[in-house]
Amino acid sequence: MNETKKKLLYASLVIGPLAFIFITLFIGRYPVSIPVVAQILWCKFTFSTCNLPDIYQTLVWDIRMPRAILGALVGGSLAVSGAAFQGLFRNPLVSSGILGVTSGAGFGAALAIILFHAATVPIYISAFLFGGLAVLLSFLIGRVYNTTPVIMLVLGGTIVSSVFSALISFTKYVADPTNELPSIVFWLMGSLASARYQDIVIAGLPMVVGIVGLVAVRWRINVLSMGDKEAHTLGINTKMNKGIVIVCATLATAGAVCVSGIIGWVGLVIPHIGRMLVGNDNRVLIPTSLSLGACFLILVDNLGRIITGSEIPLGILTALVGGPFFVYLLKSTKGGGW
């Protein structure tokens, strides 16, 4: 890829999510015209007085804007984590939740709903902490003779995911069927309906740290994907770099899951779409997956808001879109590209 194509690619990766965020502001059940949206944004960014009705300002700036920003962060975090794990584990079926972070976060959120009666901040904290705990347990299970083979990490993640899935079922069993159980079920299906700027501040920090970390070490993922022996030959500390990738991907995924619930398929499908566009080089694939994931989740969230009178949870739509598309992907590539 020459320099001109690189510049065009990176420009489109930046402009794409920004364009989707802007489009989100004027579509929905209550449409707002583009001039009105532009006037509201101008007033907010220049701190000037806006002569429009308060309902338009609330709809655009306080409801749709934080939801679009959070959707971009969540989609980008899940996609970039999935791409990093697929490169690290050299497995095209790996997703961002391979080490049990989503199941752990789901149990943490369900536990907080029962203990704190659906208070928002405790749910975020509990989901984030249990997501990190799940990854730590997967790493400890995967350690064999002071080493951490890739296959053992995957097996450890499978074990931890199964245990936390059982614990989620147990919390459903003991939850109050009138108030707590519906809250748990709705949270597990994934949604951005309650997105506020406070959520961006709370969950945005680990997501941004994780994304920046993965972008910074993306060239090392190329080396790690060759195998431990080849990486050692090239002078790469495999243990340290695997740990950096796992920690950064865990931060991004846990931050996303704790604020949006469990949203599947994004970390699995989006990296494959990126490979169809730019190839397997993680130096380009990681930022491409970041941008595509942000655009994809914003698009799916908009579809969930406008398809029916009641909002469809994101986890349902991503599975309905991701499943058939993944079948098409396998058919078109015949399992190649790895």
Residues facing residue 151 across a β-bridge = none
Query: For residue 1, which of 258, 281, 333, 307 has the smallest C-alpha distance?
Result: 281
Query: Distance between CA atoms of 5 and 1, rounded to whole angstroms?
Result: 6
Cβ(17)–Cβ(298) below 8 Å: yes
Query: Distance between CA atoms of 167 and 111, rounded to whole angstroms?
Result: 9
Domain that holds residue 31: 3-333
The CATH code of the domain that includes 18 is 1.10.3470.10
Per the domain annotation, does 264 fall within a domain? Answer: yes
Cβ(90)–Cβ(61) below 8 Å: no
Interval 237-278: pLDDT, tens: 888 888 899 999 999 999 999 999 999 889 989 998 898 888
DSSP 338: -
How many separate domains does the chain show? 1
Per the domain annotation, does 325 fall within a domain? Answer: yes
Interval 134-143: pLDDT, tens: 999 998 887 7
Regarding pTM above 0.75, the answer is yes
Per the domain annotation, does 250 fall within a domain? Answer: yes
Per the domain annotation, does 225 fall within a domain? Answer: yes
Per the domain annotation, does 81 fall within a domain? Answer: yes
Query: Distance between CA atoms of 129 and 166, rounded to whole angstroms?
Result: 18
Per the domain annotation, does 30 fall within a domain? Answer: yes
Interval 272-318: pLDDT, tens: 889 888 888 899 999 999 999 999 999 999 998 888 777 889 989 99
Per the domain annotation, does 338 fall within a domain? Answer: no
